[in-house]
Structure 1
Amino acid sequence: MDIYYIERKTGKKIKEIVAGDKFLKWIYDTDMGNAILDTFVKKKIFSSIYGKFQDTVFSKKKIADFVEKLSIDMSEAEIENIDEYKNFNDFFARKLKNEARPIDMEKNHLTSPADGRVLAYENIHKDQVIQVKGSFYTLEEFFHDKNMAQIYHNGVCIVIRLCPADYHRFHFPDSGVPYEAKNIKGMYYSVNPIALQRIAKVYCQNKRAITIFESDNFGEIVFAEVGATCVGSIIQTYTPKVHVHKGEEKGYFKFGGSTVVLFLKEGQLKVDEDILKNTQKGIETKVNMGERIGKKL
């Protein structure tokens, strides 16, 4: 299964370079792979062990091949020389130069909280939110909260999937006040489309962190980070109950592709038309952190 996305700046359809694609296809498409997935790979111990290795000095030797294979532009990074990183996770969670990700500061524009591939849905039904075509989950399952599910019924859901090649820090899409993240324990399935097609309710099964964000211009937003296979940790770097500016860092993922999901209440946001049209066709739109993804209604 090849994965394609739309490069927003050019409108071109691009084939995604998938890190570890052979392993993913084997683990999700074969009987033996499925058995190992269920007994080991989806569980915390596998991702914890793998994640801890990325914190060791021995993991440094992976950086050069990773940069070359995934065509990562190191000129955007604060530290361009890969030899200066202490280990792979230090490189993976690298900070970028401010000018590499300009923030759309128009107050009526919601910006992408992360680099990634976006799917967006308006007027979502609390009992049938789309994971991928033909696969659904409920808001109550995602939030572990029946009242919250009702609040976001008919609202907007924006899913930003981060690939291993992407910048892995996430930021606030508006100014406002974030509250303390609620951590929900779970599994560590991949969030790659290969896995999303085969495993039901991945976002509800995986480990995740859910933050209520009282934004200044779009009302209450749920800002959720979803863990995945080989994600060592979801690190929050913000201070709860302290007002933040749009584009300010919220946190970062250690090694592994993962996902940020935003939920907005009904009547707050009109998602940009190109993102909606691509979503309706079942294809993601590649955006950068700080780009506009919708307008205030």
Structure 2
Amino acid sequence: MSMTNTKRRLGNWMPQEEQAAARARLQIAAAARERSRSAPAAPVVRQLAELVQRDAVLRMNLSRAIDDALARGYELGYTDVDELMTIVDYLASYAPPFDAQVPLATPLNLVLDWPMCMPSGYAVFRDPAFNAQLRHVLECWCGFLSGPHSRTHLTTDAPHGWFCDAAQRKMGLADYRCDRSEPHWGFASWNDFFTRRLRPGARPVEEPANPAVIVNACEASPYDVRDNCRLRERFWIKTQPYSLRDMLAGSATEIVQRFSGACVYQGYLSAFNYHRWHAPVSGTIVQAGNVSGTYYSALEAEGADARGLNDSQGYTTAVAARAVIVIEADEPAIGMVACVFVGMAEVSSCRIVASTGQHVAKGDELGFFQYGGSTYCLIFQPDVIREFSVKPPYRDNVAPLKVNTRLALAGV
């Protein structure tokens, strides 16, 4: 079983059409230049700029990636590293607006779209020092989004308010807890809204007493299913096989070994989805932790394509910042289930709320993506899954599989 080969820009994080994307980049660049005239750059952005300037190879690669993208005719909104840093600084205090047609939920990804998939860009976005400093920038933005000044668009004002009629229909906001009589519907910040909680009964656990029913851990659309996955793979090739040792980096050897020949299910999240994670099975957590990684690294085999990061989702499971939670199921025939929640681009803050040694019931909360989250995997030991409820080909124009609904049936 496998995904289709059709190129897809997934999840409504950015505009689908390049013309609309280019206009959005120009608008962001103009706002950034205006802001820079009256406000100094944030310290974390200055440190990122200083890192690039003092590292000759990093500066050369990033400058060349920008030049190559411009030479190919792409409208970036900037022409050099300094202009890019001005935009990065502006986006560190940017509150995303609602727009179902031209979404701008991951504006930095949009700004970096083309340089990151130029030949020189691949090296930049894999550079450990660059990613470490980029993490500080994203943490700074996450801090802004966790404060009251991020609530600019938490209003009912059309077309960009997240509570306007169009947004309510798009996101099914009636399913979530809020107080519509309060300013900003009672949400303390953008992240408070983004990590909103469901109303009681909005996502009931399907057959909670039946251990054979494995439920969906994230509100996500199916992306891929692969059987017979190996512990170590050449995951940089275009077919993007799952490299289990890399996906489960930091896990004990005896845990990883149990997944040799595993079955992997992968789903991707939309900007409009529910972003909390739930246990797919009942059992005991034997591992829970975060793995550091990249943020905008795409796969060379996908080529110069604005959808490169989306189309590299198999690869990102092994290299991107992520949370790994391994559950020893109560049902012995299921064994261990590894849950890998992957942050991509701005959507890289993975917060775990469950702990090692804790027993969870099917459907219990495990954690959440704080501002976003774009892809996740469930890894099953060989010969556990009898069948999946979702069938290929997987298409973009269908509703995501709701959390806590049946994902698969185990052969118990």
SS of aligned partner of 1:177: strand
For 1:46, the equivalent position in structure 2 comes to 137
For 1:73, the equivalent position in structure 2 comes to 172
For 2:69, the equivalent position in structure 1 comes to none
For 1:94, the equivalent position in structure 2 comes to 196
What is the letter of the counterpart of residue 142 of structure 1? M
Counterpart mapping for 1:58-207 below 5 A: 58-64=149-155, 65-68=161-164, 71-79=170-178, 81=180, 82-104=184-206, 105=208, 106-118=210-222, 119-128=224-233, 134-144=239-249, 148-189=255-296, 194-197=308-311, 201-207=315-321
1:3 Cα shift? Answer: 3.8
Q: 1:199 to 1:266 in 2, by over 3 A?
A: closer
1:53 Cα shift? Answer: 1.2
> Distance in 1 between the 2:375 and 2:116 partners?
27
Structure 2 contact 321–343 (Cα < 8 Å) conserved = yes
SS of aligned partner of 2:271: coil
Structure 1 contact 28–198 (Cα < 8 Å) conserved = no
1:78 Cα shift? Answer: 1.4
Structure 1 alignment gaps of length 5 or more:
6-15
Name whichever of 161-170 and 74-83 sits farther off.
Answer: 74-83
Larger Rg: 2
1:46 Cα shift? Answer: 2.8
For 2:404, the equivalent position in structure 1 comes to 290
> Distance in 2 between the 1:143 and 1:32 partners?
26
1:234 Cα shift? Answer: 1.6
Name whichever of 193-202 and 87-96 sits farther off.
Answer: 193-202
Q: 1:250 to 1:3 in 2, by over 3 A?
A: same
Q: 1:193 to 1:124 in 2, by over 3 A?
A: farther
Identity %, equivalent residues: 19
For 2:385, the equivalent position in structure 1 comes to 269
> Distance in 1 between the 2:292 and 2:398 partners?
27
Structure 1 contact 215–221 (Cα < 8 Å) conserved = yes
1:153 Cα shift? Answer: 2.4
> Distance in 2 between the 1:276 and 1:116 partners?
14
TM-score (norm 1): 0.80
Superimposed CA distance per residue, residues 8-65 of structure 1 (whole angstroms, 9 cap, x where no aligned partner): xxxxxxxx96733895455233579885973868931232122111011111113343
Structure 2 contact 295–344 (Cα < 8 Å) conserved = yes
1:126 Cα shift? Answer: 3.4
Q: 1:32 to 1:174 in 2, by over 3 A?
A: closer
1:262 Cα shift? Answer: 1.1
Structure 1 contact 189–202 (Cα < 8 Å) conserved = no
SS of aligned partner of 1:121: strand
What is the letter of the counterpart of residue 172 of structure 1? A
Structure 1 contact 48–232 (Cα < 8 Å) conserved = no
SS of aligned partner of 1:210: strand
1:257 Cα shift? Answer: 2.9
Name whichever of 119-128 and 54-63 sits farther off.
Answer: 119-128
Query: Which of 340, 361, 381 is the equivalent residue of 1:245?
Result: 361
Structure 1 contact 121–158 (Cα < 8 Å) conserved = yes
> Distance in 2 between the 1:45 and 1:224 partners?
23
1:268 Cα shift? Answer: 1.1
Structure 2 alignment gaps of length 5 or more:
1-6, 12-99, 156-160, 299-305
Structure 2 contact 288–355 (Cα < 8 Å) conserved = no
1:206 Cα shift? Answer: 1.0
Q: 1:48 to 1:292 in 2, by over 3 A?
A: same
What is the letter of the counterpart of residue 275 of structure 2? H
SS of aligned partner of 1:91: helix
> Distance in 1 between the 2:312 and 2:363 partners?
34
1:213 Cα shift? Answer: 0.5
Structure 2 contact 116–297 (Cα < 8 Å) conserved = no
Report 1 or 2 for greater relative contact order, CA contacts < 8 Å, sequence distance ≥ 6: 1
1:283 Cα shift? Answer: 9.3
> Distance in 2 between the 1:287 and 1:76 partners?
15
Q: 1:296 to 1:86 in 2, by over 3 A?
A: same
Structure 2 contact 9–311 (Cα < 8 Å) conserved = no
Q: 1:27 to 1:21 in 2, by over 3 A?
A: farther
Larger helix share, 1 or 2:
2
1:161 Cα shift? Answer: 1.7
How many residues of Structure 1 are paired with residues of Structure 2 in the alignment?
A: 285
Larger strand share, 1 or 2:
1
Structure 1 contact 223–263 (Cα < 8 Å) conserved = yes
